[in-house]
Structure 1
Amino acid sequence: MDKPIRLQPRPTEPASPPPVGPAGPILFAAPHRAMFLAGMVQAVLVFLPWTWEMLARSGVVAGPVWPWPPGWVHGLWAVYGIFPFFVFGFLLTAMPRWQGLPDTPGTAARPAWLLLCGGWLLFDGGLLFDLSSLRAGGLLLVLAGWMLALRRLYPVAFKPGAARLHPVSAWAALAAGAAGLLAWTGFALSGEAAFARAGIAVGLWWLLAPLFMVVSHRMIPFFSASALPHYEAVRPDSALVILLAASLIHGTLAAADHAAWAWPSDLAGAMTAFWLSARWQLRRSFAVPLLAMLHLGFLWLGVAWLLGGVNGLLQVSGLGTLGLAPQHALTVGFFASMSLAMVSRVSLGHAGRPLVADALTWRLALGLHAVAGLRVVADLLPGSQTLLLTLSSIGWLAVCVPWAIRLMPVYLQRRADGRPG
């Protein structure tokens, strides 16, 4: 690994553009506001029909009717319909600061936001009324909004003379996500299962995993250095390169239906992630709960890679399988808990409020880790799977509903410190 580097707290950033007046709602005073709010709404709406499905499998109620396999709909919604709102909101806010550029005006995110939201509403209507044309049209609208956001981020990521590893990797992951949406659109039009499998693999391993690893690598040492005294920050580029390579390899093999053979790169990813977690001083982070939420979220990445490596070894040896446990350690454990932690921190900081996790936020974060644990164990204990899946789905709503109620008003109010943004 590279030699440790010392990160100094970043100087105060230039002020954001002035808050919009009556012609522009406060929701678009900064790009993260509308994106984060939509992500929270999606996190609740997406899991309502999924919880209904789980209750139906438990025999509690009659089940919903799905025009597609419900697991595939759930995967599409979660991978492309929840987390990207948080990612776009974060990157439109943070990436210009990484590159020493002025803040992105909040109104610049409005066209992409409208297309993304409108596209998912249209897609959901296509599910409800079983109209493939609406489903395909909705996905194309989502893709159009996605491309607008990509276009906005392109000159930021590729700014001449600026650092490239983090911004370009994040931009490339989002570009891969556009390809994944095209694959899903192909499935909506043709019904060919290979398109759906490709869309799932691309979304997990080329889109979200690289994005969350890039953001973690960039921000966790920075936030830790800002919050903990005498903190020696370690952020070797080589570690991120290993993690990105492992994800690309796994995604490529998964798209070809050979994910089991990714076990060597999965185990390399696990070793690297656990090494980073130790060097980033997980134990010290508990002195600042809001920081500990980030460190605990990142710990799930090592768990996910380890489970993936073990699962691959079991499969190629003909000894069995861990089912979807590795994928849910990644999605619910890593993606979801990191989203809750990062979105909470950014929302408080950019609202001019103290960077402190109150008792509710801390309990919700711990509750989400319990949900992730339940979801992983559900695949390891097939005999209790239906019960555990139902409990984990209800648990997700029990976390996300109060989290949304806690933070959504922040996006509709001006900053508490009177600053613009």
Structure 2
Amino acid sequence: MNTRPPAPHPSPRLLGAAPHRLMFFIGAGNLLLAMLWWTAWLAAGRWQLWTMPQPAPYAGWLHAFVMQYQMLPSFIFGFLLTVFPRWMGLPELERWRYVPVGLGLFGGQLATLLGALGWQAGIIVGALLTLGGWLGGIGQLLPMLWRERGTTWHARSCMAALLFGLGGLLLWFAFLIGENPLYAFASIKIGTFGFLLPLYLTVAHRMFPFFAGNVVAGYKPWRPLWVLAAFWVLLLVHLVLELFHAYAWLWLADVPLLGLALLMNWKFWPRGRMPGLLAVLFIGLSWLPLTFALYAGQSVAYALTGIYFLGRAPAHALYIGFFGSVLVAMVTRVTQGHSGQMLYMPKVAWWAFVMVQVVAVMRIVGELMPDTGAWMAYAAFGWLLAFTPWVLRIGRIYLSPRSDGKPG
């Protein structure tokens, strides 16, 4: 009688088998912890169901810092520490090189959230641990740029974004020490337009046409470098205008950015049938023109009326709609492929992706509603509903051996 050997049990030891395992596992935990605190804080502020301390710095700024410099970078460093060696034909990183990055980002966010809950030293400790994780990650990635034989421009673009992010992180630390709110403001704006958006665009520019070319018959990849360069220039113009509070002139950058985003969507989008795992990438990308349309419209309205319509709606079209959608799509794809499973969208991934679209719309519409605080809390709770089943599934995969028996 033939009997199959028992399936290996999940083990935390497997987290160190590859950078994406450890960093995505930490990112998944950071994602839920960050939004659990933010949801509880919003609900406490709106309905007084329980008491939540008002942290110093202000909770809204702290939320932006956690999402920009701790939660999303957990996934970003996991991806870059995996793909940089492959893009440049270099050996894969050993375990000791990336484990400290993960520990810094997880420990940093945990300490920060404990600080938000009342442990006063936690905010500073969290910033220091986060800075250590960032320096560890950049310290592993940067030398690859001069060790490679050729020139991988996408890697250099990603590194430029990381260095902007490092600058923003240092500004946050300066804010905590000197309590100058302008440092916090600059840190948050740099995190958006100097770090996250250029990096997301770089990865999309390199990977989306590549993925489509592998599965869509007759697809011709289009990814000229001038598009990426133009995005960089215009995003930096937007950033400078934001830093100087020149909101009435943001449209000078945002209208061309809208045009570039429409062009990218038109050229990238496959004309033939495509599997769901590919479709979600392009649906996520379609949030980008809407984001810049909202930013441009807000700027023009401010120039004409002096009223700052839409509030944080454009920012959340970007963060929830674009960043959130592409996060689900890319992490699901990497997880399926690097765990030896078939490339498809599992049901929990579809649930997360569809719910992110709903949450994005809720958060945007909420800016126009009389009770914005309630809409913010509902959207935050929706985020938790969207991601919890997905996080539980991918977390178990990172703790389990590859289904095809290969290492990594």
Secondary structure of 1:46's match? Answer: helix
> Shift of the alpha carbon at 1:245?
1.6
Q: Deviations over 1:121-164 (max 9, x none)?
A: 22233332352x43223202211110111010012234454233
> Shift of the alpha carbon at 1:216?
0.6
Amino acid at match of 2:101: A
Task: Please give the residue correspondences for 1:65-84 in structure 2 after superposition, counting only pairs within 5 Å.
Answer: 65-67=53-55, 68-84=57-73
- Give aligned-pair identity as a percent: 34
Structure 1 stretch displaced more, 101-110 or 213-222: 101-110
Distance 1:51 1:264, change over 3 A: same
Distance 1:394 1:179, change over 3 A: same
> Shift of the alpha carbon at 1:28?
0.8
Q: Tell me what 2:77 maps to.
A: 88
Match status 1:231 vs 2:219:
yes
Q: Aligned partners of 1:160, 1:101: CA distance in 2, in Å?
A: 7
> Shift of the alpha carbon at 1:61?
1.0
Cα RMSD for the two superposed structures:
1.8
Q: Aligned partners of 2:94, 2:278: CA distance in 1, in Å?
A: 28
> Shift of the alpha carbon at 1:351?
0.5
Q: Aligned partners of 1:360, 1:122: CA distance in 2, in Å?
A: 30
Q: Tell me what 1:49 maps to.
A: 37
Match status 1:199 vs 2:193:
no
| Aligned pair partner of 1:288 in 258, 275, 281 | 275
Greater RCO (CA < 8 Å, at least 6 residues apart): 1
Structure 1 stretch displaced more, 179-188 or 51-60: 51-60
Preserved contact between residue 158 and residue 168 of structure 1 (Cα < 8 Å): no
Distance 1:123 1:357, change over 3 A: same
Structure 1 stretches of 4+ with a deviation exceeding 6 A read: none
> Shift of the alpha carbon at 1:319?
5.3
Structure 1 stretch displaced more, 89-98 or 158-167: 158-167
Q: Aligned partners of 2:82, 2:349: CA distance in 1, in Å?
A: 22
Q: Tell me what 1:310 maps to.
A: 297
> Shift of the alpha carbon at 1:63?
4.2
Q: Tell me what 2:7 maps to.
A: none
Task: Please give the residue correspondences for 1:32-47 in structure 2 after superposition, counting only pairs within 5 Å.
Answer: 32-47=20-35
Match status 1:150 vs 2:168:
no
Q: Aligned partners of 1:162, 1:309: CA distance in 2, in Å?
A: 39
Structure 1 stretch displaced more, 240-249 or 348-357: 240-249
Q: Tell me what 1:406 maps to.
A: 393
Preserved contact between residue 176 and residue 207 of structure 1 (Cα < 8 Å): yes
Q: Deviations over 1:261-312 (max 9, x none)?
A: 2212111111111111111125646x31011111111111111111111111
Gaps of at least 5 residues in structure 2 are 1-10
Q: Aligned partners of 2:342, 2:248: CA distance in 1, in Å?
A: 46
| Aligned pair partner of 1:387 in 374, 393, 396 | 374
Q: Aligned partners of 2:270, 2:348: CA distance in 1, in Å?
A: 21
Preserved contact between residue 282 and residue 296 of structure 1 (Cα < 8 Å): no
Q: Aligned partners of 1:55, 1:282: CA distance in 2, in Å?
A: 42
> Shift of the alpha carbon at 1:174?
0.7
> Shift of the alpha carbon at 1:24?
9.2
Q: Deviations over 1:34-70 (max 9, x none)?
A: 1101111111111112111222243251341122222
Q: Aligned partners of 1:306, 1:173: CA distance in 2, in Å?
A: 23
Distance 1:43 1:282, change over 3 A: farther
Amino acid at match of 1:99: M
Preserved contact between residue 34 and residue 113 of structure 2 (Cα < 8 Å): no
Q: Tell me what 1:8 maps to.
A: none
Q: Tell me what 1:114 maps to.
A: 103
Q: Tell me what 2:353 maps to.
A: 365
Count of matched residue positions in the alignment of Structure 1 and Structure 2: 396
| Aligned pair partner of 1:165 in 148, 153, 160 | 153
Preserved contact between residue 158 and residue 164 of structure 1 (Cα < 8 Å): no
Preserved contact between residue 90 and residue 148 of structure 2 (Cα < 8 Å): no
Q: Aligned partners of 1:56, 1:128: CA distance in 2, in Å?
A: 13
Distance 1:160 1:415, change over 3 A: closer
Q: Tell me what 1:105 maps to.
A: 94
Q: Deviations over 1:351-400 (max 9, x none)?
A: 01100112331232111111111111112x13142332122111100011
| Aligned pair partner of 1:341 in 329, 334, 348 | 329
Q: Deviations over 1:183-223 (max 9, x none)?
A: 11112122211111011011111010111000011100000
Task: Please give the residue correspondences for 1:183-198 in structure 2 after superposition, counting only pairs within 5 Å.
Answer: 183-198=171-186
Preserved contact between residue 243 and residue 269 of structure 1 (Cα < 8 Å): yes
Preserved contact between residue 30 and residue 107 of structure 1 (Cα < 8 Å): no
Q: What's the TM-score once normalised by structure 1's chain length?
A: 0.90
Distance 1:237 1:80, change over 3 A: same
Match status 1:376 vs 2:326:
no
Amino acid at match of 1:55: A
Q: Tell me what 2:117 maps to.
A: 128
Q: Aligned partners of 2:305, 2:150: CA distance in 1, in Å?
A: 49
Q: Aligned partners of 1:258, 1:139: CA distance in 2, in Å?
A: 29
Secondary structure of 2:49's match? Answer: coil
Preserved contact between residue 234 and residue 279 of structure 1 (Cα < 8 Å): yes
Match status 1:64 vs 2:52:
yes
Amino acid at match of 2:19: P
Q: Tell me what 2:4 maps to.
A: none
